[in-house]
Amino acid sequence: MGIDISALFNPKARPLLGLDISSSAVKMVELAANGRDSYRVERYAIEVLPKDAVSDGNITNLDSVVACVQRAWKRLGTSTRNVAMALPGSAVITKKIILSAGLRDDELEVQVETEANQYIPFAIDEVNLDYQVIGPAPSLPDEVEVLIAASKKERVEDRVAVADAAGLKAAVIDVESLATLAAYELIEQQLQHSGKDLVVALIKAGANTMELIVIRNGQQLYTREQAFGGAQLTLDISRHYGMSYEDAEAAKRSGNLPEGYETELLNPFRENLALEVSRALQFFFTSTQFNHVDHIVLAGGCAVIPGIDQVVATRTQVNTLIANPFANMALSDRVKARSLLADASALMVACGLALRRFDSL
């Protein structure tokens, strides 16, 4: 069948770095086992990308992205070169299908390819295809639920090319949403009753898009993406203070801005973000049978903005917390706890990718 998304769901290579290339930054995370069922953060790095080096999930300036990956890897100070990378959800078609239980691997491959042809609007030889057996189908004891994922080959090849040019090896190509959900499982353990029966709205607010994923008992109930993100605040800073976009982004991240910034720019942006969250939830309520969420979890680069959780909680009247998948992890001597706490919400995808190291242990 030519499942060329290299071990999409079941990486064999060890050890492994999580490498997230977002529209604004390159993020790398390395985790290690720390006893049974627990992890240690070995090291992490974030390097800001030049504006438009990545656009709509597409790598538009290969040289800039490669240079940024190389800087991040050098800062990491690791000898590990195997990386798990992710494609944006817009580049991947995923579908859950039901197949007979007890099929041999070769029979399963044939069935997956046959089913995939119905859902993929491209010729099968133009895509990378992979699948994972999730488990027994709900209320169907003789059948299993299988998740299939397909992406056009050039989208996969772009990511692989970045790794190769940076002297790294793409051992796993995942999907951003699946990596986010893997990291979310660590956050869910921090909620009361480990999140059991709770309806949780995970808001991933990046540079250009805000994604709402509603989760209950490990199942994704709803997802919606809208155009809004931290790049707007960077543009506001750039215009207001006459800075280049890159300087404005650096000043925003360091907090090194003139007096009046909070009142004139940051407060209005926080209010706008909270309004977008509220709107996203209203769309969820009007298009499903649900009329409430128990918690909001803020992730992505915008979640590092000081005070954003309180503003969202006030607007939505829902308990709001900042995503920190590392909260219960040990830290190596190389990792500063305060820095990691500030960056944790922006590292969700990188953390989920780094967790792929342990998938088959």
Q: 180 with 201, same domain? A: no
Per residue in 7-25, pLDDT tens? 444 444 468 999 999 988 9
pTM for this entry: 0.87
* pLDDT, greater one: 34 or 279: 279
Tell me whether residue 107 is in a domain.
Answer: no
Q: Which of 21, 28, 90 is nearest to 60 (CA)?
A: 21
Q: Which of 265, 261, 230, 267 is nearest to 245 (CA)?
A: 230
Strand order of the β-sheet with 127-137 is: 92-100, 140-152, 127-137
pLDDT confidence of residue 58: 86
Number of domains in the chain: 2
Q: 261 with 173, same domain? A: no
Task: Report long-range pairs for 327-331 (Cβ below 8 Å, ≥24 apart).
Answer: 327/186, 327/187, 327/190, 328/38, 328/186, 328/189, 328/190, 329/31, 329/34, 329/38, 329/39, 329/40, 329/41, 330/34, 330/38, 330/39, 330/40, 330/41, 331/40, 331/41
What percent of the chain stands above pLDDT 90?
A: 61
Position 282 confidence tier, pLDDT thresholds 50, 70, 90: very high
Q: 338 with 244, same domain? A: no
Tell me whether residue 282 is in a domain.
Answer: yes
Q: 169 with 24, same domain? A: yes
Tell me whether residue 213 is in a domain.
Answer: yes
Residue 77: give its domain's CATH number: 3.30.420.40
Tell me whether residue 118 is in a domain.
Answer: no
Tell me whether residue 134 is in a domain.
Answer: no
Q: 277 with 341, same domain? A: no
Beta partners for residue 224, in sequence order: 212
Per residue in 192-214, pLDDT tens? 888 999 999 999 999 899 999 99
User: Is pLDDT above 70 for 305?
Assistant: yes
Q: 202 with 180, same domain? A: no
Per residue in 332-347, pLDDT tens? 999 999 999 999 999 9
Position 120 confidence tier, pLDDT thresholds 50, 70, 90: confident
Tell me whether residue 127 is in a domain.
Answer: no
- Strand 140-152 and strand 127-137: the pairing is antiparallel
Q: 63 with 169, same domain? A: yes
pLDDT confidence of residue 128: 87
User: Is pLDDT above 80 for 1?
Assistant: no
Per residue in 122-163, pLDDT tens? 777 888 888 888 888 877 778 888 888 888 888 899 999 999
Tell me whether residue 131 is in a domain.
Answer: no
pLDDT confidence of residue 9: 47
DSSP structure string for 284-296: HHHHSS----SEE
Q: 163 with 75, same domain? A: yes
Q: 167 with 268, same domain? A: no
pLDDT confidence of residue 177: 87
Rounded to an integer, the average pLDDT of 55-63 is 89
Q: 32 with 176, same domain? A: yes
Q: 159 with 208, same domain? A: no
pLDDT confidence of residue 117: 84
What DSSP designation does 88 have? -
pLDDT confidence of residue 131: 84
For all residues of the chain together, what is the average pLDDT?
Answer: 90
**Domain of residue 239, residue span:** 191-322
SS3 100: strand
pLDDT confidence of residue 360: 58
Q: 61 with 35, same domain? A: yes
Tell me whether residue 337 is in a domain.
Answer: yes
Rounded to an integer, the average pLDDT of 233-245 is 94
